[in-house]
Amino acid sequence: MNKLDELRPIFYPESIAIVGAYRDEQKMRSSLFLSGFLSSGFKGRLYPVNPNSGEIMGIKAFPTVSSIPDFIDYIIVSIPRDLVVDAVDDAIKKGVKGYSNIHCRI
């Protein structure tokens, strides 16, 4: 595998999990990412991750990244800082290749 192939999940993700997605898209930055992907016509699969939501913006939500049945290329994390390490560890165990936009809420 060459370097470009290794970076493909980061620059051209086919599936993105948004950890910390929230039902009210005006309240949380992570929900703005989700609505942005939806409105821009992102062709890949989107997975909101929030342990307290069954559905966000019409998409089934999952309690953790590891509970998503499909492979995930990339995650965006926007959760309280004391939960970030566990969320990233969970994503690593899942085999996620790329991480971005870690905005820790206090």
Average pLDDT of the chain is: 83
Chain segment 28-51, per-residue pLDDT in tens: 566 678 888 888 989 999 999 998
Give residue 25's pLDDT: 59
pTM for the complete prediction?
0.84
SS3 annotation, 25-68:
CCCCHHHHHHHHHHHHCCCCEEEEECCCCCEECCEECECCCCCC
Domains and CATH numbers, the chain: 3-100 (3.40.50.720)
Higher confidence at residue 56 or residue 29?
56
Q: Are 57 and 34 in contact (CB under 8 A)?
A: yes
Contacts of residues 38-41 at CB distance under 8 Å and 24 or more positions apart, as own/partner, are none
pLDDT for 101: 55
Nearest residue to 34 via CA among 10, 51, 16, 8? 16
What is d(CA 11, CA 65) in angstroms, rounded to the nearest whole number? 20
Strand partners, 44: none
